[in-house]
Amino acid sequence: MTYEFLVASAIGVLVAGGTYLCLRARTFAVVLGLTLLSYAVNLFLFASGRLVIGRPPIWDGAIAPYADPLPQALVLTAIVITFGMTAFVVVLALRSFLETGSDHVDGDKVACDAQDGLMKDEPSRDGES
Amino acid sequence: MAIAVTLLTLVILPFAAALAIALLHGAPRRVHSAIASAASAGGLAILAMLAGPVLGGATPSATWAWVPSLGLDLALMVDPLGWIFALLILGIGLLVVIFAHAYLHPGEDTGRFFASLMLFQGAMLGIVIAGNVLLLLVFWELTSLASFLLIGFWQHKPEARQGARMALAVTGGGGLALIGGLVLLGLVAGSFDLATILTRGEAVQASPLYPAILTLILIGCFTKSAQFPFHFWLPHAMAAPTPVSAYLHSATMVKAGVFLLARLWPVLAGTELYTITVTSVGLVTMLLGAGVALFRHDLKSILAYSTISQLGMLVMLLGFSLEAAAMAAVLHILNHAAFKAAMFMSAGIVEHETGTRDIRRLGGLAKAMPITALIATLAAAAMAGLPPLGGFISKELVLGEALAFATPDALWLIPALVTLGAGLSVGYSLRLAGHLFFGQPREAEPFARAHEPGVGLWASPALLTTLALLLGLVPMLLAAPLVGPATGAVTGRTPPELDLGLWHGVNLALILSVIAVAGGVLLLWQHKRLLAAWERAPLPDAKLIFDRVMRLADRWVRKAIVATHRPRLQTMLLASFGVTIALVIDGALAGGGTLAGDRPGIAASVPGIAAWALLVAATAAVVLDARHRFRALILISVIGLVVCLAFVQFSAPDLALTQIAVEAVSVLLLLLALNLLPKQPPALSSAPRKGRDALVAIAAGLAVGGIAWAMLTRDPGASIAAFHLANAKTGGGGTNVVNVILVDFRGFDTFGEIIVLGIAGLSIFALLDTTATGAAGARLRAWRTDLPLSPERHPMMLVAASRIILPLTLTVGIFLFLRGHNQPGGGFIAALVVAIAFLVQYLAAGFDWSDARKPFGEHRLIGWGILLALATGLGAMVLGAPFLTSWFDYFKLPLVGTFELASAMLFDAGVFLTVLGAVMLALAQLSHIGMRAARAAARDSGRRGA
């Protein structure tokens, strides 16, 4: 069992999980799916510099091989941008839910709460309960 | 160099004025009009300075490379033709500004008006002094956009919006054709430089592409200059305020097409195709416009069709491909600009003072407004081509040229039709002046309201009419010095000798002119009967046809979109994923070879395998149990931590720090959002659908995992990392190569990324700030928490601990920031750590307490951060180095010892501020609306309890 195999298979598992969740009908699942896909993409980009143990790219005068700093720099900003994207998507989902009363990705009317909606579609009209 | 600065100032002045007016939007109208007139007057002063050399035969020009790889230069040049047009644009622009100052009603948005007007002026000026055809295109498109804003200035009027849209659709569509035409022209001529293109006429006309080039360019010119069959937008553009009509439709916008025809005359003109097409389009347009103008009742509509007709005449003259005809065209451009602007302004005055533009309701106004009557009557006489006004001279020249064009082939139809057109012009001009100012008032009410306007309104048309008169009385003094060199610039030959005057003895042109006047009088005499016949005739309505075509296009486009792009996210994503996977598999099979390479791997340790197992298990749990959303969040953070551990293990301390900080912030964010979202909704997907999606997902996982495996088991090619490692310390002054790459080697990328992050933060704010109203607001107010709440809102221990931790965390943040250049850390990580420090306060003490004590505004942080990063980059440019070049040096301080100062640190501070601002903005805003909802709920239950 090598680390290369572990990383590659972890990327595969994350992509599979992310893809499946992105295909779900509710916005929150899609957000989770995007998060998993982002982990996978960031790991993949990072792995393109290959796996190196114990040689962080902090220059110490030695010529010995360091871990490739370029993918690391790219992934560093990618992580932060991922946060920006996740935040934006989740807020978009929230806004869509607040506007339509549904958390379906296409805004279709669907039941939203298992315990018979504390948050009904049209709050003004169901005062009898 | 001086001339370059002069030309640049000339073209920048109007844009600068537009910007200044827009920035001083709230200032009173006199400030707006003062800026606009100062800019126009300044431009005129520059033109006056250039007059000597330009009219003397020199062509001042300047070129700056802009996008050299495309052949696009910022090239400006002023030749006599461009100079005359610039004179019209700026001179009439100045008069229009003065007129508009008095014309616009109190309360109108003068800031928007004058800013758009100046934008338009700048764009127009750019067209006429551009020395590169690609640059000309840029300005050409800009005039379409600016005229859209001006025509639709009165946004509350449907006809203004429709007119603006129609003008944009027609001239913008023509602009597309023009892009094609000019790009082809440039390719055939071998250069996009205008002066070079003008010398390549023979090569262009010999090219097999010439018909395509000509057609495309003519479509561009004809749409802009409202030539048949594209003429219909111009009357609808009359929904604009009258000063706009006076500007756009006398001297500028519609003349742009004529200008381009004249500009490209040496390249395009002279062929049979050109002569036949351009002459016949011009002739048809001239007759059509003049004929319709005779039967219109709206003053501005009459003038609009008259403009179409006169433009047709100009196009026809250029189509003749004769030098003398080009001269007549240049002269008539001057005349037309003067009298048509005066006519539009007079129409505006009449409407302003009587409340109507319907000629059937007006009459006898000379008694009520004698000055306006005098001005407008003289201008109409010039429009009719009566002596002793300038219009007479140019009309006689036109008739003469029609004869000269017709003589060799005995095409007698052309002079006959031109005479007919001239007669129609006499007819509508006389009708306009006669019915408006003389005879008896047709309706009492508008006449009773009518009164002489203030000098602010009549000064501009008076000056223009005086010019129209002087162009007839002293043409050799006023017109000849301009027209001669400009004709030379059109034809590309030496300027012709001119002999302009009212009287050249009795010749055929004079006889035709007399016939035209007589015909016009006859038309006016028989106008009632002709009008009745006209109204009986079945005539096509261009607007209806246009609307029908647009609707048809709209319907087909919709059909095409729905056919190819179903509005279902799941279907679209499935298709995208499916296609991508298929492509990957196809590519992998086509490559052949084995999946695994022969690069030796690193044996995994037991903890490593355990972490991997944890990740796989957590992912599986998230997928299988995504409905339990809180649990899913916990599992997601487990995955994030394993990824973070991977970064630690594989020599990426910076990534590990970033990942763990982002992890904390992300989970907080999702928690806050989940507070308002359903926590555990019922399942939606059917089992077969889940099965299908699972298959696609597994295929995707295998494909990407396979690629990763193939990549990791092979050696990488030569990496540019060697350069980064070697130069980080010596060139960037830091030993943390990742940080040096971020702030120095690839600083421009980072700059872009913080802008994206700032935009994301601001968009989140925009999405959430507006939830207080509408359906979202109603739902938020009706929100009830569906979670058991802790009896203690702000647990004492948490509050106390968080306050103690705050300064410590801030210190850690500053420490990470300061050491970032040499050790793991830096602006990104420090910002996230500081953000977490503040967010903990929000969590512990609540939104209100924390928000009230927050020492900064997030919007400002984002803005200042980006500005600081930008200023650092520009600072390098000021010092003569490329954008974002960093500087560093070492200093000694007593006690502290040697330390380093680097400009990259300032850049990193910009990154820090932006990231902090964006993160805080997103989370604070989210917790703010949650708080608002909770408060509304508490108020509600309190009321119910009482």
pLDDT 10s digits, B21-32? 999 988 899 999
Between CA B924 and CA A20 the distance in angstroms is 31
- Residue B884 clears pLDDT 80, i.e. is over it: no
pLDDT in tens, B424-457: 999 999 998 988 888 888 888 888 888 888 888 8
Tokens read off for A93: 């989902």
Chain B contact present for A34, CB below 8 A: no
Structural element, H or E, at residue B64: strand B61-67
Chain B contact present for A109, CB below 8 A: no
The band of B944, judged by pLDDT with boundaries at 50, 70 and 90, is low
Query: pTM for this structure?
Result: 0.69
| Contact criterion met (CB < 8 Å) for B665 and A83 | yes
Tell me the C-alpha to C-alpha distance, in Å, between residue B467 and each of B341, B390, B470, B782.
11, 8, 5, 71
The band of B618, judged by pLDDT with boundaries at 50, 70 and 90, is very high
**What is the Cα B27 distance to its own chain's centre?**
25
- Find the CB nearest A6 among B608, B700, B761: B608
| Contact criterion met (CB < 8 Å) for B926 and A69 | no
Between CA B341 and CA B319 the distance in angstroms is 25
Name the nearest CA neighbour of B125 among B213, B220, B30, B50.
B50
Q: Give the pLDDT score at A127.
A: 36
Q: Give the pLDDT score at B410.
A: 64
Chain A residue closest in CA terms to B599: A4
Q: Give the pLDDT score at B438.
A: 86
Chain B contact present for A91, CB below 8 A: yes
- Find the CB nearest B780 among A11, A88, A98: A98
- Find the CB nearest B673 among A29, A91, A105: A91
Q: Quote the minimal CA–CA distance from A26 to chain B in Å.
A: 8
Biggest CA–CA distance in chain B, Å, is: 112
Decide: B407 and B502 in contact? Cβ < 8 Å. Answer: no
| Contact criterion met (CB < 8 Å) for A70 and B709 | no
Q: Give the pLDDT score at B476.
A: 86
Q: Give the pLDDT score at B783.
A: 75
pLDDT in tens, B305-325: 999 999 999 999 999 988 889
pLDDT, mean of residues B585-606 = 85
Chain B contact present for A73, CB below 8 A: yes
- Find the CB nearest B712 among A7, A16, A24: A7
Between CA B143 and CA B89 the distance in angstroms is 12
Q: Give the pLDDT score at B535.
A: 83
Residue in this structure with the two tokens 């520009």, named with its chain if needed: B874
Decide: B223 and B230 in contact? Cβ < 8 Å. Answer: yes
Report percent pLDDT > 70 for chain B. Answer: 98
Between CA B84 and CA B86 the distance in angstroms is 5
Q: Is the ipTM reported for this complex over the cut 0.95?
A: no
Residue that wins the pLDDT comparison between B829 and B408? B829
| Ranges assigned E (strand) in B84-146 | none
pLDDT, mean of residues B740-760 = 90
The band of B696, judged by pLDDT with boundaries at 50, 70 and 90, is very high
pLDDT in tens, B462-492: 999 999 999 888 888 888 888 888 898 888 8
The band of A129, judged by pLDDT with boundaries at 50, 70 and 90, is very low
Strand partners, B311: none
Q: Give the pLDDT score at B773.
A: 78
Residues of chain A contacting residue B678, judged by C-beta atoms under 8 Å apart: 28, 97, 103, 112-113, 119
Report percent pLDDT > 90 for chain B. Answer: 46
* Mean model confidence pLDDT for chain B: 88
- Find the CB nearest B738 among A4, A76, A101: A76
Q: Give the pLDDT score at A102.
A: 85
Residues of chain B contacting residue A40, judged by C-beta atoms under 8 Å apart: 704
Q: Give the pLDDT score at B451.
A: 82
**What is the Cα B913 distance to its own chain's centre?**
31
Q: Which residues contact B491 (CB under 8 A, 6 or more apart)?
A: B265, B266, B323, B326
pLDDT in tens, A2-42: 999 999 999 999 999 999 999 998 889 999 999 999 999 99
Decide: B789 and B814 in contact? Cβ < 8 Å. Answer: no
- Residue B928 clears pLDDT 90, i.e. is over it: no
> Which residues of B, range 792-851, sit inside 8 Å of A by Cβ?
822-824, 828, 832
Pairing, β B897-902 against β B888-893: antiparallel
Contacts A–B by Cβ distance under 8 A: 350
| Contact criterion met (CB < 8 Å) for B782 and A123 | yes
The band of A63, judged by pLDDT with boundaries at 50, 70 and 90, is low
Residues of chain B contacting residue A106, judged by C-beta atoms under 8 Å apart: 567-570
> Which residues of B, range 585-644, sit inside 8 Å of A by Cβ?
599, 601-604, 608-609, 612, 615-616, 619-620, 622-623, 626, 629, 632, 636, 639-640, 642-643
The band of B840, judged by pLDDT with boundaries at 50, 70 and 90, is confident
Question: What dihedral do alpha carbons B155, B158, B164, B168 form, nearest 10°?
Answer: 120
Q: What angle do CA B936, B939, B943 make, to 5 degrees?
A: 140
Chain B contact present for A108, CB below 8 A: no
pLDDT, mean of residues B35-55 = 93
